[in-house]
Structure 1
């Protein structure tokens, strides 16, 4: 699949309607310093819910851990024009990682999403980076992007992403696939749109997914986000499934039947945070402040794209790879770096 221009990135996820730029730019209140992730976007939305502030605060503080996910010594990021990249004033970039902890998958990050929150916070822009994207890894030559995680865990992946895009990664959030299952069950299941079906013969197990809308429990949701072998574009298709799942989980976790149910709130918060790891500079207090500001967010404010690539190929070592669209990646980096993603083109869609 060629993705050499902006329009080619406007892929439909979840069967939703595209949101016009003028709609996305309408005034919204109270949205600032947004931390979004596979989990974190919904973890603390309930901080003000009926008497559960103390309990949720205790649960989050007890469950969430901090590790050195950012490089210990941050190197300056230099833009192509030779000027240092501004550290602030151009939005905030979060690298959100999901690791599949099944035997044989340890040490790899199967979900790599860059979340850009603009300075004006009118949208939350999520960019999926296919794990087979063939990139330069500092100190290791060229390899698949998720090999950076295997070689040097999160700090090396951060350096790789910064070199690729010429942007600063401000924060890192990590979870694992087990949390997907538990969170889904905690909210009573999710309704997800599948662009294509899968018959249960691939790496998603025996769960059958039909094209169109699917009501999934935790076990089925886990199979939905894991499957790639039977999908038409492999990891690319799986990435779109994962983004569709994130959106579905967000909608269910913020639905009235969830946020007014203390038992669901407690179960979901525990499931979402028990495997959540934050970088060494991001505190639970920061997340709590952000959670309060998220109370007005709407589903149409969360938009998605896939990082630009030109097609598929084979590495010198014989591995299947996704070939980077160099110009497209440079354009993407400039748009993030200058906080002009709304001017980047009709790249983002809402699942």
Structure 2
């Protein structure tokens, strides 16, 4: 009897040891899983902090862009007709010929940007600087003179009167802005329709100084101011294409440099908030190169003003058709 009991004790001990071993083995995988989850959670937390920090950094760049009042108070056109609103969004891009030694700057670049309500495309409309139009309070003159007479608000009001739509936002830059933005992108490639001193017909790779010369040339071009406007649009196309390139968008250093360059030389109207920019950019995330369209505002040929200046003759009927397209948010049919 005693011998039997002695034999059973080791057996029970072995069973206990085996059960304990199984419990320990069960705890070890669970412990390993917890450690792995902790490592993953820590990594995601660091990644999230990095993303939020980068987003904050980019937002701070937007917040640092200068703002000033550039929108006119007028809600009607020169004939007293109410300006159309809500049919897409209209931005006026102004590039002044201001420079270190320039006094009484005029607008070298006047581009009306129309984004339809569905955010499916972008239309850039070049208004030739020599277009001879009525400027509120100043009679007839070249459209770019409005900027010299009354800054961005008067130029904006003048363009509003031409097309009958309310311009929602305004942005302006100058010579240095053209150069800085181009250099921040590492240069751009543009397609020149015709050659001029320093630029061959076809593709040209430009740095900032070359880009400025490219968009300002007109005397060596076949249609002067009109050809220059088309070059400005080609530069804008190159800037947009380069900015939308993943090599820029996904490179924090390059993107920060681009935003810094834009912020240092760009002024926005005081109603164009950082939140608005982010919201509009998100809505336009599906835009591709083929969705960006460039046209020139209509005119009836070339002439001479009463003072002897070379001008682009205003075509009222054709401008009314452009205005109708903008007012009805139907630019696609206007260009067909």
For the criterion TM > 0.5, the same-fold answer is: yes
| Alignment partner, residue 4 of structure 1 | none
- Relative to structure 1, is the Cα distance of residues 310 and 76 closer, same or farther in structure 2, using a 3 angstrom cutoff? closer
User: What do residues 201-259 of structure 1 show as CA deviations (whole Å, max 9, x unaligned)?
Assistant: xxxxxxx1000001111111111111111111111111000100111111112212222
Correspondence list, 1:257-272, <5 A: 257-272=247-262
| Alignment partner, residue 93 of structure 1 | 90
Aligned residues: 286
| Alignment partner, residue 118 of structure 1 | 116
Cα pair 1:134 1:143 within 8 Å, conserved: yes
In the alignment, the residues of structure 1 paired with residue 133 and residue 55 of structure 2 have an alpha-carbon distance, to the nearest angstrom, of 44
Cα pair 1:193 1:214 within 8 Å, conserved: yes
| Alignment partner, residue 38 of structure 1 | none
Cα pair 1:77 1:168 within 8 Å, conserved: no
- Relative to structure 1, is the Cα distance of residues 83 and 189 closer, same or farther in structure 2, using a 3 angstrom cutoff? closer
- Relative to structure 1, is the Cα distance of residues 83 and 316 closer, same or farther in structure 2, using a 3 angstrom cutoff? closer
Larger displacement relative to structure 2 (101-110 or 52-61): 101-110
1:279 Cα deviation (Å)?
1.2
Higher relative contact order (CA 8 A, sep 6+): 1
Which of the residues 34, 51, 54 maps onto 1:52? 54
**Structure 2 stretches lacking a partner, 5+ long:** 1-49
| Alignment partner, residue 323 of structure 1 | 313
Is 1:230 the counterpart of 2:220 in the alignment?
A: yes
Cα pair 2:190 2:203 within 8 Å, conserved: yes
In the alignment, the residues of structure 2 paired with residue 222 and residue 270 of structure 1 have an alpha-carbon distance, to the nearest angstrom, of 19
Higher helix proportion = 2
Large movers: runs of 4+ above 3 Å: 48-51, 82-86, 103-106
In the alignment, the residues of structure 1 paired with residue 149 and residue 67 of structure 2 have an alpha-carbon distance, to the nearest angstrom, of 21
Correspondence list, 1:1-351, <5 A: 52-62=54-64, 64-71=65-72, 73-77=73-77, 84-88=82-86, 90-102=87-99, 103-104=101-102, 106-199=104-197, 208-346=198-336
In the alignment, the residues of structure 2 paired with residue 49 and residue 212 of structure 1 have an alpha-carbon distance, to the nearest angstrom, of 41
TM-score, structure 2 length as denominator? 0.80
In the alignment, the residues of structure 2 paired with residue 49 and residue 230 of structure 1 have an alpha-carbon distance, to the nearest angstrom, of 49
In the alignment, the residues of structure 2 paired with residue 192 and residue 225 of structure 1 have an alpha-carbon distance, to the nearest angstrom, of 11
1:105 Cα deviation (Å)?
6.5
1:314 Cα deviation (Å)?
0.4
Cα pair 2:119 2:284 within 8 Å, conserved: no
**Structure 1 stretches lacking a partner, 5+ long:** 1-47, 200-207, 347-351
In the alignment, the residues of structure 1 paired with residue 66 and residue 131 of structure 2 have an alpha-carbon distance, to the nearest angstrom, of 29
| Alignment partner, residue 7 of structure 2 | none
Q: Secondary structure at the match of 2:190?
A: strand
TM-score, structure 1 length as denominator? 0.77
Q: Secondary structure at the match of 1:229?
A: coil
In the alignment, the residues of structure 2 paired with residue 338 and residue 157 of structure 1 have an alpha-carbon distance, to the nearest angstrom, of 23
1:106 Cα deviation (Å)?
4.4
1:86 Cα deviation (Å)?
3.5
Q: Secondary structure at the match of 2:285?
A: helix
In the alignment, the residues of structure 2 paired with residue 50 and residue 295 of structure 1 have an alpha-carbon distance, to the nearest angstrom, of 20
In the alignment, the residues of structure 1 paired with residue 184 and residue 254 of structure 2 have an alpha-carbon distance, to the nearest angstrom, of 6
Q: Secondary structure at the match of 2:191?
A: strand
| Alignment partner, residue 41 of structure 1 | none
1:141 Cα deviation (Å)?
0.8
Q: Secondary structure at the match of 2:76?
A: coil
Cα pair 2:172 2:268 within 8 Å, conserved: yes
In the alignment, the residues of structure 2 paired with residue 49 and residue 177 of structure 1 have an alpha-carbon distance, to the nearest angstrom, of 34
Q: Secondary structure at the match of 1:115?
A: strand
Cα pair 1:315 1:321 within 8 Å, conserved: yes
Please, what is the CA RMSD of the aligned residues? 1.9
